[in-house]
Amino acid sequence: MALVIVPYACAVVGLMYYIHGHPGEPVSRWISVPLLFLLVLTILGGGVFLSRAAKKQAKSETIEEGRLRRARAIKGLKVGLVVWSLILLNDLRMLAEGAVPWTVAIVGLAVVTSLIIAFWVSLRRLHKAEMAAAQPDKSGEQRK
């Protein structure tokens, strides 16, 4: 998780220093575009790393540990879904008020909507995995 949070947190701190040093000016494109790519890269890279780590951990855990891990992951995905949904609502509010031009809003809305879809799909997959783990297999034991 630190691979996702730390790089982007550092970039946001740098952005705050830039905004503090240049009050009232719009953030230039040479800052905003790399920040968008950093966000996407950290989400994708962190997702791949976390997926591999989870698969490695799943091989050595018991049924109960797997159930607890999936329950924590479901809670985290639900929180993320709520957070990104609130961000989308705020973006729509700012667009309706005219605080953000359409040219900027289209990119932002596309990114936030794609993240909501990714969280939703991940949550559905995790629910399916939880249901499959709760089903007993042919020998009468629950699947791992």
* pLDDT tens-digit readout, 24-37: 888 777 877 887 78
pTM, two decimals, is 0.63
* pLDDT, position 3: 64
Q: Which residues pair with 142 in a beta bridge?
A: 136
Contact 36, 117 (CB under 8 A): no
Burial of 139 (0-12, 13-18, 19+ CB in 10 A): exposed
Q: Where are the domains of the chain?
A: 1-60, 62-144
pLDDT band at 104 (very low <50, low <70, confident <90, very high): confident
pLDDT above 90: residue 22: no
Question: Which amino acid type is present at position 46?
Answer: G
* pLDDT tens-digit readout, 51-94: 888 788 878 888 888 888 888 989 999 999 999 999 999 999 99
Long-range contacts of 62-69 (CB under 8 A, 24+ apart): 62/144, 63/133, 63/142, 63/144, 66/133, 66/144, 67/130, 67/133
